[in-house]
Amino acid sequence: MDMKTAPLSLLNDPSLLKTDALINGHWVKGASRFDVHDPATGQKLADVANLTAKDAEAAIDAANAAWPAWRNKTGKERSILLRKWFDLLMANQEDLGRIMTAEQGKPFAEAKGEVAYGASFVEWFAEEAKRVNGETLPQFDNNRRLMVLKQPIGVCAAITPWNFPLAMITRKVAPALAAGCPVVIKPAELTPLTALAAAELAIRAGIPAGVVNIITADSDNSIAIGKVFCSSDIVRHISFTGSTEVGRILMAQSAPSIKKLALELGGNAPFIVFDDADIDSAVDGAMASKYRNAGQTCVCANRIYVQDAVYDEFVQKFSAKVKTLKVGNGFEDGVAQGPLIEDAAIEKVQRHVQDAISKGGKVMVGGNKQTVSSSSPPSLPTHVQTCCAPAKKPLAPSPPYSVFTKSKKPWTLPTTPSLVWPATSTAATLAASTA
């Protein structure tokens, strides 16, 4: 079968393709299922267990029951198991990358790179598990000694995004496991297959039942599961990566139980080019900053400010670089830009492009919806006087441009500056012409 039409049929180890949730070491089918699609083709990849709030409570109870034995292991014992998990992640790098590209869309080489990146967190915290050190403090009274002991806090919940289906899980889960805490993971509904494969490898590594639990659910049930995490007196810590709006909700819902929270929320990062910059280096930096994962990362530049003296040169060179990007299915050779994750993302980029054009923008690369396909380049409108404010960070390859002068520095510009949107991936989305 063709890789682009049935990518998951080519796994070296088909048993890594799990579609049921994981609770207390058992794969749970759930009362209903939801579909997971390939964003490049629209093809259905699998139907996955659609768990409920009641299932989330069962997973939390399982994690809590597994906690005493897990926390009582020595740091070295936990380290050995985490190291085995790391080794298995790396041994299955190609299959994990294939699953990731199929459900998330990023180029295959980039997906395999994320596997290595994600596994590195497990490797690092496997070593740190042996070094959870306390501290002695200078005493204020010679009849007393002051010591700080570090102990596992308890059940940790992790809610992870779709843009890094493995790395966002391992970055949250590995330190919790190393410290002696069991985890309940709610992966994004758009990309659950990578998480489930990683959980299968955790089981193979010998991590005990109940220590790692995966709750899969569609968008509606995910809201109910999030409420369970926040309201539970058993869950002592929640780690979330996603939008500021959802982070604010989780914080409010967790307030009654005074939970510890680790929130990585949306930003609005600027890329600033001054007139004394090496323009070639600036262009290379902007390309790397904006077009990684088709612009769908938390740290991609969302705004680009260029000083007036070098604006034209920068835009010309940047446009030339953008034209060289190969857009297509992530499994195709040489593809640098895969699809955007879903139709809503395509529509958002199109709104940005059309808004820029309506405000006087000149499209230098792509930009027409009719031409958006697996082979079309990103779109790049410039010379826009006003545009929609980037108040909410768009996870898309569409940073606005603004000219600034020596007398008007970029940090003094208003929230709605003169903008230019190089909105590409409708361009990076194959689905736009097929969905």
Active site residues: 264, 298
Cβ distance 267 to 248 under 8 Å? Answer: no
Within 359-430, residue ranges assigned H as helices are none
> Which helix (H) or strand (E) is 350 found in, with range?
helix 343-358
d(CA 145, CA 182): 32
With CA atoms as reference, report the closest residue to 369 among 432, 322, 306: 432
Token duo for residue 69: 């034995």
Q: If you count DSSP H runs as helices and E runs as strands, how many of each does the chain have, helices first?
A: 11, 16
Classify residue 51 as exposed, middle or buried by CB count within 10 Å of its CB (0-12, 13-18, 19+): buried
> Pairing relation of β-strands 212-214 and 183-186?
parallel
In the block, residue with structure tokens 């041994």: 91
Q: Which residues contact 102 (CB under 8 A, 6 or more apart)?
A: 7, 8, 38, 45, 193
